[in-house]
Amino acid sequence: MESSLVVSDALPEFVHRQAQVALDGFLADANAAGRFQGRFQKQALLIQERQPHPLTRETVLLPMALLHWREASWRLYFRGSRGRWQRYPGVEATVSPAPLLARVHQDELGLFWRQ
C-alpha cells in the first residue's frame, strides 16, 4: 500500500526539511574536520565519509550509512561486506531521522566505523 504522503519519487517537503535539519546537526557533531557529507537521493539520505584513496591519495567518498524513507518512516542501513545495504539490526523505523543519525554516531555494533 503506497503512503499518501509520497507524491513522487522525491521526499515530501516537510520530511525533506526535517531530514535536512537532522543532517545538519549530525554533520556539526561528527564533522570536526569536514570528514563527512550527506546527500539526498530520491527517498533516501546517504551519509558518506571522505577518505584519501590508498594508492592515488585523491579524496574519495565512501558510502557508510543510508536512511531510507518508506511507508511514512525512516529505516537505517549499513554497508555490508559485499557492498550491499543491510538493515541495521535492532533499530526500529522512526518518523524522525535524528535518532537514526544518533545511532550512526554511536554505532554500538561497529558496523559503520569498522575500518
Tens-place pLDDT, residues 25-82: 999 886 655 788 999 999 999 999 888 888 998 999 989 999 999 999 999 999 988 8
Q: How confident is the model at residue 6 (pLDDT cuts 50, 70, 90)?
A: very low
Helix, strand, coil proportions of the chain in percent (round to 5)?
A: 25, 35, 45
The partner residues of 98 in beta bridges, in order of sequence, read: none
Question: Is 3 inside a domain boundary?
Answer: no
Question: Does some domain include residue 1?
Answer: no
pLDDT at 35: 83
| 48 and 38 Cβ atoms separated by less than 8 Å | yes
Q: DSSP labels for 55-80?
A: TT--EEEEEEEEEEEETTEEEEEEE-
Q: How many domains in the chain?
A: 1
Query: Considering the domain boundaries, does residue 112 fall inside one?
Result: no
Name the residue among 44, 45, 49, 48 with its Cα closest to residue 23: 45
Q: What is the pTM of this model?
A: 0.83
pLDDT at position 79 is: 92
Contact partners, residue 92, CB within 8 Å, separation at least 6: none
- Is pLDDT of 5 > 50? no
| Confidence at residue 8, expressed as pLDDT on a 0 to 100 scale | 44
In a domain, 4, yes or no: no
Identify the pLDDT of residue 9.
65
**18 lies in which domain range?**
13-106
Question: Does residue 68 lie within any of the structural domains?
Answer: yes
Residue 64 lies in a domain: yes
pLDDT at 7 over 80: no
Q: Would you say residue 113 lies in a domain?
A: no
Is there a domain that residue 115 lies in?
no
